[in-house]
Amino acid sequence: MSPEPFDAVDVIRAKRDGGDVPEPALRWMVDAYTRGYVSDAQMASFAMAVFQRGMSREEIRVLTDAMIASGERLSFADLGKRTVDKHSTGGVGDKITLPLAPLVASFGVAVPQLSGRGLGHTGGTLDKLESIPGWRAALSNDEFFAQLAGEVGAVICAAGSGLAPADKKLYALRDVTGTVDAIPLIASSIMSKKIAEGTDALVLDVKFGSGAFMQRLEDARELAETMVALGTDSGVTTTALLTDMSTPLGLAIGNANEVRESVEILAGGGPADVRELTVALAREMLAASGQPDADVEAALDDGRAMDTWNAMIRAQGGDPSAALPTAPETHTVVAPTSGVVTRIEALPFGIGAWRLGAGRARAEDAVVFSAGIDLHAKPGDRVEAGQPLFTLSAEDAARFDRALEAVDGAWEIGDAAPERGSLVRERITA
């Protein structure tokens, strides 16, 4: 048996002391961790060193490439049409993938949307879709490619275990060691999977604000710039939008209720902010696919996007016309005074929905599809005393007290409407 060319302790010390890890040593560290030679304790120590000391752009590129090399790479070269994907860094009420994928696919572009599940206060796309009776997230490679190549053109499903297995192992470790929100680790985690996926183009929705992992705009910008550079260097046409996650997106926070709201968008209605962001991201994706003048809003209003949604859900075993789960228990909070809603903070409402059962504390926990929060007013809306502000839904009324604790102080009614900044704050390109 050949001796290992490097020592994990030396790699950890180099990063701990603020130095750059040489490329061969960094590639070895990822490979050795993937095959079990480097222990969880050692990789946790390295992740904490990265969290505290950061990484150079070159180190992030090498780390990302090493994680891609740990598994397989997909290719859509034989698909016969352009592919474009979108990734969101996550937020409260962020159901945009659901209307966005069929909307973009209705223009003849293939949308291979490999999505995940929620953990903590940010919801998972797959959890939302699994509230649709019969719908399944796990597809074989043959099913995946056939659905993209055919008339549907869009797939939202779970990523296979073969894509960037190093990232899957490292992410689980970061989640329990307080190193999730390190920009080099976030960027390499997201981009290793997206580059390995093999898409032609990628649009990133990088969020900032109280409900986002990157709460400061400057941090979100740094993350976006890092990811755009990684994608571009790998030959993937990559752009990013910086979007505000200070207030929940839309009116629904949960799973089944977010599906309902997504269907409203596909029917040409729904909350203005959800439609605005769906349209902005669709334009960005279609421009990256060679259709800069596509009339995105017309496809929402004339039923084309809805037709693709129905076909996509049926192709994965779901019944788009079936009734979605509803909760047996509800509790409505009403406005104590008349005035204007001046504030609804995203993070507390995300935590509130989580405590109602809409999220999970551990990866193996089940979510309650019918649990969540429905807002009846957003910042800037005028309300009268006694008018409903938001409704909590749960299978067990005993969950209401802790959810109400979470949102206590997270909303406000005043005399004047707050200034509303643009939902899409900046566009980042190479």
Q: What is the CB neighbour count within 10 angstroms for residue 167?
A: 27
Q: How far apart are CA 137 and CA 160, in angstroms?
A: 11
- Domain assignment present for 422: no
The CATH number covering residue 400 comes to 3.90.1170.30
User: pLDDT (tens digit, 9 = 90+) per residue, 364-379?
Assistant: 778 999 999 999 999 9
Give me the residue label for tokens 């990822």: 30
User: pLDDT (tens digit, 9 = 90+) per residue, 346-355?
Assistant: 999 999 999 9
The CATH number covering residue 242 comes to 3.40.1030.10
Asked whether residue 400 falls in the same domain as residue 282, the answer is no
Question: Across 127-236, where does the E strand assignment appear?
Answer: 154-158, 201-208
Whether residue 293 has pLDDT greater than 70: yes
Name residues whose C-beta falls within 8 Å of residue 196's C-beta, 6 or more positions apart in sequence.
68, 71, 72, 73, 74, 163, 164
If you average pLDDT over residues 26-49, what whole number do you get? 96
| HSE-CB for 130 with a 13 A CA cutoff | 19
pTM of the model: 0.94
Q: Which residue from 264, 221, 274 is spatially nearest to 92, judged by alpha carbons? A: 274
The CATH number covering residue 50 comes to 1.20.970.10
- Domain assignment present for 238: yes
Indicate the SS3 state at residue 331. strand
The structural domain count of the chain equals: 3
Asked whether residue 210 falls in the same domain as residue 356, the answer is no
DSSP assignment, residue 397? G
Mean pLDDT of the chain: 94
- Domain assignment present for 240: yes
Total number of residues shown for the chain = 430
- Domain assignment present for 424: no
- Domain assignment present for 68: no
Which tokens belong to 209? 């604000």
- Domain assignment present for 61: no
- Domain assignment present for 43: yes
Domain residues for the domain of 207 are: 84-322
Asked whether residue 257 falls in the same domain as residue 158, the answer is yes
User: pLDDT (tens digit, 9 = 90+) per residue, 233-255?
Assistant: 999 999 999 999 999 999 999 99
Question: By percentage, how much of the chain surpasses pLDDT 70?
Answer: 98
Asked whether residue 341 falls in the same domain as residue 313, the answer is no
Q: Could you give the residue numbers annotated as active site?
A: 87, 167, 174, 189, 193
- Residue 317 — φ and ψ, nearest 5°? 85, 0
Asked whether residue 314 falls in the same domain as residue 344, the answer is no
Give me the residue label for tokens 């968008």: 265
- pLDDT classification of 119: cutoffs 50, 70, 90: low
Asked whether residue 144 falls in the same domain as residue 275, the answer is yes
- Domain assignment present for 3: no
